Amino acid sequence: MAIELEDTREPVVDDQEGPKASPFSPSELLRLDEALTMSSRETGLRFTLYIGDLPADTRAGAEELHARSGGDPAESVLIAIAPDQRVLEIVTGSAAARRLPDRACALAVLTMTGRFGSGDLVGGIVNGLRQLSDQAGHPAAHRPRH
């Protein structure tokens, strides 16, 4: 005699916001957007921010993302954050790396991970961006005017 098995599985996400909802509130998005835009405008570099899962080899995954980040990859800086893996990767292009040496990036990483560890994602990102753009400086100081 067959026993009717009830489907007792629960939906993976029973949260009303759903998995596709933005992880940030509008005011947090505003802060992120202002930080990204202002640091990109001040430095002439192109800062993009990725938040999501990275492959097991996080460095290779972040470098692949950097290659696809649009614009001129040489001048772009990718900040990749994997909250589940608790990994932060900063990838600089060839032109950006001249103005943002690895030591400066490591310092920004330290600032950001310190904030992330206490649960402040947005604060860490904003401070890290500020630090990176301070280090990179203004493009006029680095590029001769044509």
What residues between 112 and 141 interact with another protein by CB under 8 A? Answer: 112-114, 116-119, 121, 138-140
> Closest approach of Cβ 127 to another protein, in Å?
14
The CA-based angle 74-89-78, given to 5 degrees, is 30
> Closest approach of Cβ 84 to another protein, in Å?
5
> Closest approach of Cβ 117 to another protein, in Å?
4
Task: Using the minimum distance from each CB to another protein, give the nearer residue, 7 or 94.
Answer: 94
CB burial string 66-99: b at 16+ within 10 A, e below: beebeeebebbbbbbbbeeeebbbbbbbebbeeb
Residue among 37, 55, 57, 142 that touches another protein (CB under 8 A): 37
Q: Token pair 């489907």 is at which residue?
A: 7
